[in-house]
Every structure is written in C-alpha cells, then in structure tokens.
A and B are shown apart, each in its own frame.
Chain A
Amino acid sequence: MQAVFLVIATLFYCAGSIGYFVYLLRDREAIHRVSWGILFVGAVFHGAAILLRSLGVGYLAVTSSQEALSFFAWVFVVTYLLIQLRLQLRILGSFVSPLAVVFMLLSRLLPAHIIPKSGIFQSGWVIFHVTTLFLANALFALAFSVGIMYLLQERQIKRKNFGYLYSRLPSLERLDHINYICLIIGFPLMTAGLVTGFAYASSIWPSPWNWDPKEIFALITWFIYAILLHERLAVGWRGRKAAWLAIFGFSAVLTTFLGVNLILKGHHTVFIR
C-alpha cells in the first residue's frame, strides 16, 4: 500500500512540475492553481504513505536514507505549499517543484537498509530532532531556489541583457527578502534540532560530542548559516553574496544529510544508513 502511495505521489509531483514548467512559459493563473492542486494531492498521498509506514514500525520512519530523503521531500513540498499561500509568488513553484521531484526520485534510488528495530528510535527527542532539522532544511532548500532566482534576475539586470525570464521573475528586493525570511526562520529551527540531537546523544552515549562525521558536518553547516545570518544582520550583506551563500549553505546541508549517510560512516549510522 505504501509503495503504491509513494508511486502515486511521485507521479503527482512530476505532473505538478510539468504544470509549473508550462506556467513558466505561459503566465496564466489557472495553470498555477492546477499545478498547486496537483502537488497538494501528491503531498496527501505521500503523507499517507509515511504515516502508514511509521505506524507499521512504531516510530517515525526515517531510518534509511531512502525514507529520510522521502520524508524530507514531503516536508519540503508541504512547506512550499503553505508558503505559497502566504507569499503569492507563483513563479516560485517553477523552481521548487523540480527540486521536489529530484528529491523524490533520488530517494527511490537510495538504499533502503532495514535497521534492526531498536528502542532508541522511539524517543520523542528523535521526532523533535528530525522534524525541526528537516523543516529547517526545507526552508534552506527554499532559500536555495530563491537564491537561484535572484542570481538569474540580478545577472540580467546587471548585464543589461534581458531574456525571457526577466519579465517573469519578481523584483530583486522581494527575492532577497524571501531569502532572508527563510534564513531567519530556518536558523533557529536548525539550532533547536542540533541541540536536541546533542542532548539525546549525551543520554544514550557517553558524551554529546563524539567526533562523528555527521556531527562535524552538521556543525560546519550550522556555521555557514550562522555567518550568513550574522553578516546579514550586522553588516547588511544582501543580494548576490547572500544568494551565493544560501546556495553554498544548502549544498552543505545536502552533504551532511546524504553524503555522510552514504559515504562516511560514523556511529550516527545506528539511526540511519
């Protein structure tokens, strides 16, 4: 059942992306509404699949890279759907939905190791740790998309060479502002997620800090975003540099999230492989 739901969700995400691609070419509000609706239905199926799986195993089902990425894709889509309602920046969908499809398809390719069921998964700490971090990452992914939009638009204006996207993309200030909002909400969530992670680590292992690759990369990522936020608030960094750093930051997120799971091994692999 879950497998069927996942396939359906993937198909809906693909259809939604195609819809948003058409929207990129043709500026009709109806196309956007339909695409949004398709993504929404996809997210419902996807959510149902995750729920069924989690109920089946008795804890939040994110213990394989496949499940984790799939869960992340779901959080990302839901975040987008909600934020779209608030922002009304329709063109954002054209940049976000392909990313969701990539995550979803990638998750199908990743190994689905079954980790022996263990009591340590069932802690509320884990749920909090995972949800806050994934929500933060979803916001960072959004900042990543907006950063790309910013760079595209900035380049056209700076070089005085206007392509098709010029009229479709919103103003630079607006994109920069969204980037900032994603950062300012994402960063505290990320911090909270890391703190709970360390706290839980200290309760099941001798020390909160164990020189685990996951921990090291997470901290690096945290520092990247901390620098970005600090520079924005204190020095007034904005625009191109901020957009680049948001893109760089998200690649660090991906490294921490996937690279470490798949390539480097550490004792975090007790939770996820």
Chain B
Amino acid sequence: MYHIVLLGMNHKTAPVEIREQLALSCRQHVSPLQLIPHLPHVDEVFFLSTCNRVEFLFTCHNRNAAIREVKAQLLTYLGNALQNLLDSHLYFHENLEAVKHLFRVSSSLDSMVVGEPQILGQIKSAYRQATECRTVGVILNRLLHKSFSVAKRVRSETMVGSHAVSISYAAVELARKIFGELKDKRVLLVGAGEMAELAAEHFLAQGVRHMTVTNRTPERAFELARQFKADTIPFEHLVDGITAMDIVLTSTGSPHPLLRYQDVKPRMRERRNRPLFFIDIAVPRDVEARINEIDNVYLYDIDDLQGIINLNREDRKREAEKAEHIVSEEIIKFQNWLDTLEVVPTIIALREKAETIRQSELQRTFSQLSHLSERERQAIEVLTGAIVKKLLHDPILFLKKKANRESKELFVDYTQQLFNLSDGNGMASSSLTHGPPDVNSETKILKNIKK
C-alpha cells in the first residue's frame, strides 16, 4: 500500500523567523531533483516554499522511514539547533487529510489573507519545476491537477477571492464602481508619501494613464512623478487643480483641511457635474467631511475604507464556508479515483500477458508460413490483435466497475489466479513511479476510467 503524506509548516504553526529561515534556505538550495537522492523511501515528491509556508508532499510505501528522511532533510536546512523544536512547528497529514490540506492551500483557504490569489501561481510554478525534474508521477500529477481545478471552482463559484484586502485596493474598487473604466480618468495625488505611492501603483494597474502629483515640498513630488510618469502641479494650485481631476487622493501631514466645502462646491459647475471622488487617507483629515454632501461628489476617509475592509472580512468568512464544501466534494472524487488505481496494475498485467502470448504465437506461425505476403501478415496481426482485445474487453470492464467496491481485492485476486498473473500489485506499484514504459500505458488506462 502506498501513502500520500504531507509535511509542512505555515504561518499558523511556526513563527516567522523559522519560516523565513526555512523558506530562504529552501529557495536557495532545493530543487526537487536534488532532494531525491536523500529520500530513498520516497516515490514521488512535490515541494512548495513561499514566504508563509513550506510544504513537502510525497508518496511512499514505508511511511515511517520516508517521514524520517524528509524530517532529516528539513533539519539540514534549519540547523540542528532546532531539532527539538521542529516537531512542534510541523504539521503532518496523511492520505485524504493530505489531499484536503493541499486543496485548501491551493484554493487559498489556508492563506494568511484568505482568498489572496498568488498562492495558486506559486503552486503551479513549483509543480512545473517538479515535472521538469520528473519527481512527480501518476498520483501527484493527478492530485496537483485536481488541486488546480478545485482552486478554479472555488474562485468561480464562491466570492472568496473577490473582496478588497488593502486600503488602496478598496479605494480603487470604489473608484471603479463610480467611474467604471479608469483608463481615461485623471488622478491627483496630494502628498507624496508611501501611501500615495502604493495607491498610485494600484491605479496604474487599473490602467490609469493620467496621474498628477502635488506635494508641499516639490522635490518629492518630482521624484514620485518620475517614477509613475506623472505630471506635477504646484501645491498652491491644488484647489484649482481639482477642476480637471476625477479622483483626488490626499495623504499629507497637514494639521488643517486642505480642501473645503466652499472650494469644491463652485467648481462642480465648472466641471459640468462630472463625478469627483475624494479618497482621504490622511490623519488628521485633508478634506472637509461636508464635501460628501455635494451632488456627484464622493468622499471616503480612512475609517470609511477600513469599514469596507472589515465588512469584506465577514463576507469572506461566509464564502469560505461554501469553499470548504467544494473541497470536501472534490476529496470524495479524488478518493474514487485513487480506488480505481488499485485495479490498474492487474489490468496492465492482463494486457501484457495477452500481448506476450500473441507475439510469441505470431512469431511461431510466421516462421512456419514463410511464403506469406506482407499484406497477409498484416491481416493476421490485425486479426489476432482484435481477438485478444475483444476477449479481454469484458474482464477489464468488470474490474473497472468493481474498482470502487469494498470487495475489489477479492476480484483482483480472482483475476490474477484465473489468468495466472504474477503478483500484479507488486510489479505495478513500482512501475507507478519508476518504470518509464509502464507509466504511459498506465496513464492511458487511468484516463479511460472516467471517474
């Protein structure tokens, strides 16, 4: 019997110092290929390392030995000083629990910020690396592909990933609800601090092309403007500047409001009432709260934005429950597939035996009938092939059908005795990962079992 084992640590189980150290040394030294020689008891291995987690996913037959090897490997990265601590930071999942954990990780349910989309990309690139090094075989291939489709389902069927996470993101989302497309909108950044920079990045990502920066000290404004290919206006012209703008983001350290009701109100007529969106992330505030009362003017300060983010957290929790349900469904599907896996070696052995008999009989016949033409030979080949195929069709179908039954071992056993097959399971389990010629036919059969 093989085992699927997952060993790892994440932001919940290990403090950041340990994760850092592990992630750092893993990223530098470990390609999955290098792992293999140190892990003789591990059949397939997949390895993921991000800033919040390190995961080893592997299959093996002797689980205790394999786990020992992987842990030893971990310790060489961390330094032996941590030997006693390691176990308390690690988590350990086996078989379906491991599958569940992987599904939850890939659909971002296990992330620090639930729903953040990067994790799937990280798993995909780790998987690409693993396939390049051929450290993953039938089981992990299937498992990882499944984890991608689970993540996709979770993303499309729940709203786990669709909510705002950061202040600037929330602000940009709001802007999109007011303006729709942001491409042709003009953004004015008042103040050139870190927050302004972050927001500018978000706006840029949304396709905003016209950005203007103004700051009390112009040097900093120029600097930011250069960075984002923006214009600048003198700080004293700020109030007139808003006439031409659509979105105004303020983040200065000014102790008094910079923009007042009476500054904005008359300018709305000038701008023909085009909507104006103020994002005020400064404390104390740069924009007078009363401005929100003007028609077609929207003002959000830092607390309002924080409120949206908190609101989203609640929603996200509810959606996460939906996502967990999807994960459970998919685990059952994967379990069904795993079950079919156990009859596959017998099917292959059956086919191989038949093929060997056919080939040797053909050879005998052909050597006796040397006068046969090429066409006749071919016809005989086709004929024998068809006979074998048709004869085996029903037994194979029977085995596949029984794959999900409790009693499958009985049927596998009968089949092996009936056809006098050598120990199919033993042979094929090694072929799962090591025997390259078998892998192809195996995958083909697995594809045929549409479960």
Which chain B residue lies CB-closest to A241? B295
A residues within 8 A CB of B292? 158
Q: Are A173 and B174 in contact (CB under 8 A)?
A: no
> Residue A158 contacts which of B180, B274, B298, B311 (CB distance < 8 angstroms)?
B298
Interface bin, chain A: 10 to 19
Q: A157-B174, A236-B273, A239-B275 are in contact. Are A174 and B180 (CB under 8 A)?
A: yes
Q: Are B300 and A173 in contact (CB under 8 A)?
A: no
In the complex the two chains form, what is the Cα distance from A171 to B162 in whole Å?
17
> Residue B296 contacts which of A166, A170, A171, A238 (CB distance < 8 angstroms)?
A238
B residues within 8 A CB of A239? 273, 275, 295-296
In the complex the two chains form, what is the Cα distance from A62 to B300 in whole Å?
52
Q: A158-B292, A158-B298, A162-B308 are in contact. Are A238 and B177 (CB under 8 A)?
A: no
In the complex the two chains form, what is the Cα distance from A171 to B273 in whole Å?
16
In the complex the two chains form, what is the Cα distance from A136 to B156 in whole Å?
40
B residues within 8 A CB of A236? 269, 271-274
B residues within 8 A CB of A173? 178-180, 275
Q: Are B304 and A171 in contact (CB under 8 A)?
A: no
Q: Are B180 and A171 in contact (CB under 8 A)?
A: yes
Kindly state whether residue A172 has any CB partner on chain B within 8 Å. Answer: yes
Quick one: CB contact mask for B286-303 with A, threshold 8 Å, 1 for yes?
000000100110101000
Kindly state whether residue B176 has any CB partner on chain A within 8 Å. Answer: yes
Kindly state whether residue A235 has any CB partner on chain B within 8 Å. Answer: yes
Kindly state whether residue B40 has any CB partner on chain A within 8 Å. Answer: no
Kindly state whether residue A237 has any CB partner on chain B within 8 Å. Answer: yes
Quick one: CB contact mask for B302-326 with A, threshold 8 Å, 1 for yes?
0010011001000000000000000
In the complex the two chains form, what is the Cα distance from A241 to B296 in whole Å?
10
Q: How far is the CB of B16 from chain A (nearest CB, A)?
A: 34
In the complex the two chains form, what is the Cα distance from A236 to B159 in whole Å?
38
Kindly state whether residue A53 has any CB partner on chain B within 8 Å. Answer: no
> Residue B178 contacts which of A157, A162, A238, A240 (CB distance < 8 angstroms)?
A157
In the complex the two chains form, what is the Cα distance from A166 to B300 in whole Å?
16
Q: How far is the CB of B239 from chain A (nearest CB, A)?
A: 20
Kindly state whether residue A153 has any CB partner on chain B within 8 Å. Answer: yes
Q: Are A162 and B272 in contact (CB under 8 A)?
A: no
Q: Are A166 and B274 in contact (CB under 8 A)?
A: no
In the complex the two chains form, what is the Cα distance from A157 to B296 in whole Å?
11
Quick one: CB contact mask for B236-274 with A, threshold 8 Å, 1 for yes?
000000000000000000000000000000000101111
Quick one: CB contact mask for B160-182 with A, threshold 8 Å, 1 for yes?
00100000000000101111100
Kindly state whether residue A86 has any CB partner on chain B within 8 Å. Answer: no
A residues within 8 A CB of B271? 236
B residues within 8 A CB of A158? 292, 298
Interface bin, chain B: 20 to 34
In the complex the two chains form, what is the Cα distance from A158 to B295 in whole Å?
9
Q: How far is the CB of A30 from chain B (nearest CB, A)?
A: 12
Q: Which of B179, B180, B271 has the most chain A CB atoms inside 10 A of its CB? A: B180
Q: Are B176 and A171 in contact (CB under 8 A)?
A: yes
| B-contacting residues, A155-196, CB 8 Å | 157-158, 160, 162, 166-167, 170-174
In the complex the two chains form, what is the Cα distance from A160 to B174 in whole Å?
10
> Residue A172 contacts which of B275, B307, B308 (CB distance < 8 angstroms)?
B275
Which chain A residue lies CB-closest to B175? A171
> Residue A160 contacts which of B180, B274, B295, B300 (CB distance < 8 angstroms)?
B300
Which chain B residue lies CB-closest to A177? B180
Q: How far is the CB of A73 from chain B (nearest CB, A)?
A: 31
B residues within 8 A CB of A241? 295
Q: How far is the CB of B244 from chain A (nearest CB, A)?
A: 15
Q: Are A157 and B274 in contact (CB under 8 A)?
A: no
B residues within 8 A CB of A153? 177
Q: Are A160 and B307 in contact (CB under 8 A)?
A: yes
Q: Are A160 and B177 in contact (CB under 8 A)?
A: no
In the complex the two chains form, what is the Cα distance from A237 to B174 in whole Å?
22
> Residue A162 contacts which of B159, B179, B275, B311 (CB distance < 8 angstroms)?
B311
In the complex the two chains form, what is the Cα distance from A171 to B300 in whole Å?
17
Q: How far is the CB of A243 from chain B (nearest CB, A)?
A: 11
Q: Are B272 and A171 in contact (CB under 8 A)?
A: no
Quick one: CB contact mask for A119-155 with B, threshold 8 Å, 1 for yes?
0000000000000000000000000000000000100
In the complex the two chains form, what is the Cα distance from A174 to B307 in whole Å?
26
Q: How far is the CB of A121 from chain B (nearest CB, A)?
A: 46
Which chain A residue lies CB-closest to B293? A158
> Residue B273 contacts which of A160, A166, A167, A237 (CB distance < 8 angstroms)?
A237
Q: Are A171 and B295 in contact (CB under 8 A)?
A: no
B residues within 8 A CB of A162? 308, 311
In the complex the two chains form, what is the Cα distance from A202 to B180 in whole Å?
49
Q: How far is the CB of B345 from chain A (nearest CB, A)?
A: 42
| B-contacting residues, A225-254, CB 8 Å | 235-241
A residues within 8 A CB of B304? 160
Q: Are A240 and B177 in contact (CB under 8 A)?
A: no
Which chain B residue lies CB-closest to A159? B292
B residues within 8 A CB of A171? 176-180
In the complex the two chains form, what is the Cα distance from A171 to B159 in whole Å?
19
A residues within 8 A CB of B179? 171-173
Q: How far is the CB of A4 from chain B (nearest CB, A)?
A: 41
Q: How far is the CB of B272 from chain A (nearest CB, A)?
A: 3
A-B pairs with beta carbons under 8 Å apart, 23 shown = A153-B177, A157-B177, A158-B292, A158-B298, A160-B304, A160-B307, A166-B177, A167-B159, A170-B180, A171-B176, A171-B177, A173-B178, A173-B179, A173-B180, A174-B180, A235-B269, A235-B272, A236-B269, A236-B271, A238-B273, A238-B296, A239-B273, A240-B296
What are the 7 closest A-B residue pairs judged by CB atoms, nearest first? A236-B272, A171-B180, A239-B296, A174-B180, A236-B273, A173-B180, A160-B304
Known: A238-B273, A238-B274. 18 other contacts (CB 8 A): A157-B174, A157-B177, A157-B178, A158-B292, A160-B307, A162-B308, A171-B176, A171-B180, A172-B179, A172-B275, A173-B178, A173-B179, A174-B180, A236-B269, A238-B275, A238-B296, A239-B275, A240-B295
